[in-house]
Amino acid sequence: MQLKIVITRKLPERFINVLPSSIEVVMWESDHIPMPREQLLAQIKEADALLTVLSDHIDRELLAAAPRLKIVSNLAVGYDNIDVGAATDLSIVVTNTPDVLTTTADLTFALLLATARRMGEGMELVKEDQWRSWSPFFLAGGDVHHKTVGIFGMGAIGQAVASRAKGFQMEVIYHNRNRRLEAEKALGATYVSFEELLRTSDFVVCLAPLTKETADIFNYEAFKQMKPTTYFINAGRGKVVVEEDLVKALSDKRIAGAGLDVFREEPIRSHHPLLQLKNVVALPHVGSASIDTRTKMIQLCLKNIERVVEGNSPLTPVKL
Ligand code: DGY
């Protein structure tokens, strides 16, 4: 029987053309409109492998409808969109794309700079012909260099942010499930409790995955502990933040600003209260969106699929 891969977003043909001809590829026709669930349910029935993106919800019902499925290969480092427990019960391997997307650290740092130095406001103003003159505190923001950055989630991307922060002579503190002794040594990062991170950071940068422990962790209680001059940056997952609480903290001037690449519901719509605030810089979940990185991510996903359907172990399995 021919092996079948279902791919839920249109990928450039050059990635598909190099797959062995023994594999049948069913690829969704759009690179931005999600594959409808009914289509996915229909296609998955005879699939051996599934390549998903982070907006696909791969739940038990879907996995149970795929008796031949051996692997779900997720085009992201995060995998909160997949019921890994159900996949494990059904002996389906789940893989992600760790280590190839430290470029997210560049975007995170850009977001941090843009938020502190009010670049979004500045760009809008110039484009809308609203720039009148120079004045001493016109668009004056916060300094970045020599400040303290508190990284919540010290995986590969968190560590890459820390090394960028060192170039700005920043003090790096972090909080993580487990201490990262090598990072402490290599980057001079100091491990602190979550509360201390909130209390002492000038920039709280969230890069943590969405888990039971991190869901809603940035709520009003958390924002209240930050300094009024602190900026909150999130390039991890939207659901770690209670967005109404963030709106309140920003409106009450409990914190100075927020730079956000991720939201609870994506795409976020322009009427969302967060987007009405001047001290919010918002991006459309583009942390890993560089051409080189996306190429590596797709190649890794397909490599994992090829290996698993040929009976080998995947390169980057997700562990429960
Ligand atoms: C990931 O890989 O989890 C990112 O959010 C995608 O850019």
Q: Which of 237, 254, 294, 306 is catalytic?
A: 237
Q: Is 285 a catalytic residue?
A: yes
Q: Give the pLDDT score at 320.
A: 79
10-residue averages of pLDDT along the chain (320 residues):
94 95 94 95 97 97 98 98 98 97 96 98 97 97 98 98 98 98 97 98 98 98 98 98 98 98 98 98 98 98 96 94
Regarding the beta carbon of 100 and ligand 1, being less than 6 Å apart is answered no
Q: Whose CA is nearest to atom 7 of ligand 1?
A: 288
- Cis omega (within 30 of 0) for bond into 267: yes
CA distance 200 to 192: 10
Same fold for the domain at 4-98+291-309 and the one at 104-282?
A: yes
76 lines ligand 1 (CB under 6 A): yes
pLDDT for the residue numbered 195: 98
Q: Could you give the 3-state DSSP secondary structure of residue 141?
A: coil
Residue 78 CB–ligand 1 contact under 6 Å:
yes
Map out the domains of the chain as residue ranges.
Answer: 4-98+291-309, 104-282
* Tokens representing residue 209 in the block: 């995955």
DSSP-derived 3-state class of residue 170: coil
Q: Kind of pairing, strands 203-206 and 257-260?
A: unpaired
Q: Which atom of ligand 1 is closest in space to residue 75's alpha carbon?
A: 2
CATH number of 4-98+291-309: 3.40.50.720
Closest CA to ligand 1's atom 1: 76
Select from 3.40.50.720, 3.40.1710.10, 3.40.30.10, 3.40.50.150 the CATH code of 104-282.
3.40.50.720
> Which of 54, 103, 210 to mutate for ligand 1's pocket (most ligand atoms within 8 Å of CB)?
54
* 266 among known catalytic residues: yes
User: Which stretches within the chain are classed as H helix?
Assistant: 13-17, 37-44, 60-64, 84-89, 103-116, 119-127, 156-167, 181-187, 194-200, 220-225, 243-251, 291-309
Residue nearest to atom 3 of ligand 1 (CA): 78
